[in-house]
Amino acid sequence: MVNKIRKELTPRQERILRAVEAFILERGYPPTVRRLGRLLGIASPSAVFKHLASLEKKGYLRRDRGELQVAGAPSVLAGRIRVPLAGIVPAGSPKEAFETSGEAMDIPDWMLGRKRGNIFCVRVEGKSMIDAYIDDGDNVLLERTNTANSGEMIVGLLEDGSVTLKRLRREDGRTILVPENPAYQAFEVENLRVLGRVIGVLRKY
DSSP-derived 3-state class of residue 89: strand
**Predicted TM-score (pTM) of this structure:** 0.58
pLDDT of residue 7: 63
For residue 5, pLDDT over 70 is answered with no
pLDDT above 70 as % of the chain:
79
At a CB cut-off of 8 Å and minimum separation 6, what does 165 contact?
89, 90, 91, 122, 124, 128, 129, 134, 140, 153, 154, 155, 198
Give percent of the chain above pLDDT 90: 25
Q: What is the 3-state secondary structure (H, E, C) of 137-199?
A: CCEEEEEECCCCCCCCEEEEECCCCEEEEEEEEEECCEEEEECCCCCCCCEEECCCEEEEEEE
The single residue of 93, 101, 150, 166 carrying the catalytic annotation is 166
pLDDT, tens digit, 9 for 90 and up, residues 42-95: 988 888 889 898 888 888 888 765 667 777 654 443 556 777 777 778 787 777
Q: Is 93 exposed, middle or buried (0-12, 13-18, 19+ CB in 10 A)?
A: exposed
Nearest CA among 15, 179, 17, 30 for reference residue 93: 179
Catalytic pick from 44, 95, 128, 162?
128
* Whether 166 is catalytic: yes
Set out the domains of the chain in order of their start, with CATH numbers: 11-72 (1.10.10.10), 81-202 (2.10.109.10)
- Cα separations in angstroms, 84 against 24, 76, 105: 10, 15, 7
**What residues pair up with 197 in beta bridges, in sequence order?**
143, 154
Tell me the pLDDT band of 113, cut-offs 50, 70 and 90: low
Gap between the Cα atoms of 179 and 152, Å rounded? 12
Q: For this structure, is 128 an active site residue?
A: yes
Please say if the pLDDT value at position 23 is more than 90.
no
The tens digit of pLDDT for each residue in 152-175 reads 999 999 988 889 999 999 999 999
Q: What are phi and psi of 158, to 5 degrees?
A: -90, 170
Compute the distance between CA of residue 154 and CA of residue 195 in angstroms, rounded to an integer: 7
Mean pLDDT of all residues belonging to the chain: 81
- The pLDDT score that the predictor gives to residue 99 is 58
| CA–CA separation, 83 and 39 (whole Å) | 20
